[in-house]
Amino acid sequence: MDRQEIIEKTELFVKQILSKDSTGHDWWHIHRVRNLAKRIAREEGADIFIVELAALLHDIGDYKFFQGDEETGAVKVREWLSSLEIPPLFIDKIVEITSKISFMHTLPAKGERSNKKNFPIPTLSKELMAVTDADRLDAMGAIGIARAFTYGGFFNRPIYDPAIKPSKSITKEEYKITEAPSINHFYEKLLKLKDMMHTKLGRKMAKRRHRFLNLFLKQFFKEWKGKM
């Protein structure tokens, strides 16, 4: 099987799994992340084949689909890749990316102190950096806003409730089970992403998307108070 065939087969496999998703993990999220990750990868000199496969598979094993289980995802990704003719070293690299990409992993566990140490470790591979930045960029800006409310709606979360304050130092456990309004997610995740980019292009794009998130919030609260 040549590389193009492997990519096409994987694309079909992913499309089939995610076609009915309404939590913000739909096929078009994968499509955007894949394109952006490839663009970043080219600038960083990362391996495009690994980046493209990892981007395609990055949400297949999301713990949210497996009642919070974080291991099942890696098994599913490995199973799929093993069914294709891909060298084991490549498989390991791709599984590493899909297992480490999650924002949740950067949060402190219960009882752990939240500090800079919990943020990305500098020894990440170029491929992991490209896919992670692309995935995080898709949670920011206009698209990120649309996705946050889609997710919130799917899980019956209110848009906003002034009585429920965002958690300043949310832990991994709290993040997994939160039922807070969607606006809180901006403070618990989306506004933090700008400072969590690994690549030059990622940082540049995140800056602009971050600005748009702030603009939206400003307008949102003006309208909430009936000022505008």
Our finding on whether 140 is near ligand ADP (CB under 6 A) is no
Amino acid at 182: S
Q: Which is nearer to ligand ADP, 90 or 103 (CB)?
A: 103
Distance CA 193, CA 161 (A): 23
Mutual angle of helices 48-57 and 3-18, in 10-degree steps: 20
Distance CA 195, CA 172 (A): 19
Token readout for 221 is 């609260």
Our finding on whether 61 is near ligand ADP (CB under 6 A) is no
Our finding on whether 76 is near ligand ADP (CB under 6 A) is no
Our finding on whether 194 is near ligand ADP (CB under 6 A) is no
Length of the chain: 228
Q: Which is nearer to ligand ADP, 34 or 189 (CB)?
A: 189
| In the complex, minimum distance from the CB of residue 104 to ligand ADP, in angstroms, rounded to a whole number | 7
Residues binding Ni ion (CB under 5 A):
59, 135
CB 95 within 8 A of CB 81: yes
Our finding on whether 139 is near ligand ADP (CB under 6 A) is yes
Our finding on whether 178 is near ligand ADP (CB under 6 A) is yes
Q: Which is nearer to Ni ion, 29 or 78 (CB)?
A: 29
Find the binder of ligand ADP among 17, 24, 60, 126 (CB under 6 A): 24
